[in-house]
Amino acid sequence: MASRIPLRRALSTVATARSSLKIGLVPADGIGREVIPAARLAIEALGSDIPKPQFVDLLAGFELFQRSGTALPDETVDALKECDCALFGAVSSPSRRVTGYSSPIVALRKILDLYANIRPVLSVAPTPDEKPKVDLIVVRENTECLYVKQEELKHTENGREARATRLITERASRRIGTMAFELAAARPRKHLTIIHKSNVLSVTDGLFRETVRSVPRLNEGRFDDVQIAEQLVDSAVYRLFREPQIYDVMVAPNLYGDILSDAAAALVGSLGLVPSVNAGDNFVMGEPVHGSAPDIEGKGIANPIASIRSAALMLRHLGYAAPADRLDKAVDEVVRQGTVLTPDLGGKSKTEEVVAEILKRI
């Protein structure tokens, strides 16, 4: 079933006798404002299978920054801290430097200590014989690497010089390593690949590699049945396209994980199919892997599937496995049927038509 991940031990017991489930909604930019409402409809369609959802609409994003000078208002952060979980849409971070602007999703991951980005990638529709089935999870460290955004630009006699600080810590590497081992141990293959480039970056990637490898030793036999492999990030991308079936769970520093998960999405047809959760020990936020897609914004053809799958991941992470399965099953049936799909999947349907088809099956 699509989007399946094992429960995290820290949050799997949270599904107790709640009377309501408070869910923050942060559509942010572009098609985020089209796909997050789709996820809300899917959650509402679950009815009494989950506590009554209470949705809190919140603001963030580059477009908000352009209007107000703030990409992530304090009110949004404070409200999220009062929620049980959240869904984030997409953000239009510019490729050029904009003074005063910083990505709100990167900031939220740090503020809420959502140290793991979990991105399952799974083939759903039948694949031709020459294309192997994809069933893997990219576990991406979410708070460090180059995403600490410590950059400087200075003028020298040879022209401008730009430098960026890359941060890898033992603490963060151990936390993401433990998360990855837990996920691998709960899957049938029990296989974990550590992605790094320590043949070149022997200090930073070396620390990541060594720390992740040390996790089984520090956990008293909990992960003895997990097979460990390693792959340099450049060859990992090559092998991902040539033989994706060799991968089960992949764990990587922030930048590598970002690139690998987007690359893996190409193997299953579209970024519009791939969900994720930003997870910590006390909070979880679903987030479709795709961006804000300004080229299709407002055309009514955005693919809502990744946001609905992200909602399923979020619910499963909270301990609501059966309702999450209902969402996943409905999505899988629509994708396999293949008659009501958005253009990114070769179809001609509108966003609202795909949502309606999924809702009929929930």
The single residue of 84, 135, 197, 247 carrying the catalytic annotation is 197
| Longest CA–CA separation in the chain, Å | 68
206 membership: H or E segment, kind and range: helix 204-218
- Residue 176, pLDDT above cutoff 50: yes
**Nearest one of 20, 92, 121 to 297, comparing CA atoms:** 92
How far is 28 from 57, CA to CA, in rounded Å? 10
| Domain spans, the chain | 1-114+275-362, 135-267
The single residue of 49, 113, 262, 325 carrying the catalytic annotation is 262
Q: What is the pLDDT of residue 10?
A: 38
> pLDDT tier at 129 (50, 70, 90 boundaries)?
low
The single residue of 234, 238, 348, 360 carrying the catalytic annotation is 234
197 among known catalytic residues = yes
281 among known catalytic residues = no
User: Are 1-114+275-362 and 135-267 the same fold in CATH?
Assistant: yes
295 among known catalytic residues = no
**pLDDT tens per residue across span 26-80:** 999 999 999 999 999 999 999 999 999 999 999 999 999 999 999 999 999 999 9
Query: What percentage of the chain reaches a pLDDT higher than 70?
Result: 93
225 among known catalytic residues = no
What is the architecture of the domain spanning 1-114+275-362? 3-Layer(aba) Sandwich (3.40)
Give the count of alpha carbons within 13 A of 113, CB side only: 8
- Residue 3, pLDDT above cutoff 50: no
Going 232 to 123 to 26 to 81, the CA torsion angle's sign is negative
Long-range contacts (CB closer than 8 Å, 24 or more residues apart) made by 233-241? 233/195, 233/196, 233/197, 233/259, 233/260, 234/197, 236/193, 236/195, 236/260, 237/263, 240/264, 240/267, 241/266, 241/267
Q: Which residues pair with 90 in a beta bridge?
A: 28
The single residue of 115, 147, 256, 320 carrying the catalytic annotation is 147
Q: Which CATH number fits domain 135-267: 3.40.718.10, 3.10.520.10, 3.40.50.1400, 1.10.760.10?
A: 3.40.718.10
**pLDDT tens per residue across span 256-315:** 999 998 899 888 888 889 999 999 999 999 999 999 999 999 999 999 999 999 999 999
Coil, helix or strand at residue 57: strand
The single residue of 84, 135, 258, 344 carrying the catalytic annotation is 258
129 among known catalytic residues = no
